[in-house]
Amino acid sequence: PPSPPPVSPPSPLPSPPPATPPPDASQCGCSHLLDGLTPTSPASSVCVKRESTRVMCRPLTGGILGCDPGMHLCQGCQDSPGKWARRKCAKKAHKNKCGKRRVRRNCHVSCNLC
């Protein structure tokens, strides 16, 4: 009887996708970049302050104080913390409610707004 064909070696596993770069300042919603901040600065080193319709962004000053008074650290692209991130954003996105102003404001990731 003829011999069976040789068993081929298993195919190599596909390589993992490249790591996504950390979010940058362009995802903080800045309308004004101050003190030498660039859109490619890491979001984790950006302080943000809302003034009327403008969003002012400065580099993190460093040290234990962090951002200047009245400013907060940019969170990059994520859903608002609390009940929005835990349950509301997924529901709203599933029901196609991302066009609503309040949902857009709170559900950046779930609604693919960044």
**Domain span at 45:** 22-77
58 and 103 in a single domain? The answer is: no
Instruction: Judge whether 43 and 20 are in contact, CB under 8 Å.
Output: no
Q: Is the pTM of this model over 0.75?
A: no
Instruction: Judge whether 73 and 67 are in contact, CB under 8 Å.
Output: yes
- In-domain check, residue 2: no
pLDDT in tens, 51-100: 888 889 998 876 556 788 888 888 767 788 888 888 899 999 999 999 99
CA distance 41 to 94: 33
* Cα within 13 Å of Cα(113), Cβ side: 23
82 and 103 in a single domain? The answer is: yes
CA distance 91 to 101: 15
Q: Which amino acid is at 26?
A: S
- In-domain check, residue 14: no
Phi, psi (degrees; rounded to nearest 5) at 91: -65, -45
- In-domain check, residue 100: yes
